Structures are given as C-alpha cells and as structure tokens.
Structure 1
Amino acid sequence: MSLARRAVLPVLGLAGAARRWPVAAQQRAQHNAMVASTEAARRRVERYEVEHYLEELSAARRHGQPHATAQPRAQHL
C-alpha cells in the first residue's frame, strides 16, 4: 500500500462517518419518540383506570355498598 493511499484512508473513513451521522441521529430520535409516546399512552390508560376505579368506589360508598364490590378494571385501550 502506498504512502498516499494510507494517508487518504482515514479521511475517507471520516467522510463516510459524517455522511452516516444524520441518518443515525434521525433513527435514534425516532426511536426515542416512539418510546416516549408508548410510555405516555401507558400512563394515560393507567390514569383512566385509577379515575374510573375511584368513581366506582365513590358511587358504591354513596349507595352504602362495601368497597369490595368496586374492583379496578384491567382495560387496555
């Protein structure tokens, strides 16, 4: 391998990395957004379930029923 070729190879490697960086960064950003969206949806469902359970519990207590009748529902939207 010639001296000139050995001098050019690191530069080509850096140029390739520079061309690939925006694509890799975009893919990481999309992945992070999907993870955040999934977590937000899970929390919305959990919040809905808690609110629904508390409403049922409150209604059961107003009607004099023991709280054992109001069970939390496992519902996935």
Structure 2
Amino acid sequence: MGDRWHVEVDRGVCIGSGMCVNHAPDAFRLDTARQSHPEHPDTDANEKVLAAAEGCPVEAIMITLLGGGEAVFPPEE
C-alpha cells in the first residue's frame, strides 16, 4: 500500500496562477476569487499533485504524510 498525503493550500499566499490546475486538473480547482483549493485534501501519493506543488510560483501548496505529518513538499531543511 502506498503513502497517503494531506494537501493544503495557503490561500493567504496563493496568487491564483492556475499552475496547480494545469499540472493536476483532477486534484485542484480555482474558486471565483481565483484561489486554489484541493479537490481531495487527503489523497494517495501522486506525481501530478507533487508536480503542482513544485510548480507553484509562490509555494502555496503544502503536502504532508497523512497521519504522521512529515513534510513531503516543501521539504524540511
């Protein structure tokens, strides 16, 4: 069984670029204010979701391991 992730978007940081939707259209949506929201905050580990987080120009997307809370993205330094 693979990892499960918890996905959050810091809407105070999100600039509504839409890159997350471009990378993972099934995982993110923009609301009427162009703020990103994860479609499924708790999800299976997924390369498209990771690409969306990595491609966010302001790093507004945080991914942690579900249950343990360890950072997947951005990585802890």
Q: Same fold (TM over 0.5)?
A: no
Please give the range of the TM-score, normalised by the shorter of the 2 chains.
under 0.3
Instruction: Give the greater-gyration-radius structure (CA).
Output: 1
Higher strand proportion = 2
Query: Between Structure 1 and Structure 2, which shows a larger proportion of helix residues?
Result: 1
Q: TM-score, normalised by structure 2?
A: 0.22
So what's the TM-score if we normalise by structure 1?
Answer: 0.22
- The higher relative CO (CA closer than 8 Å, separation ≥ 6) is in 2
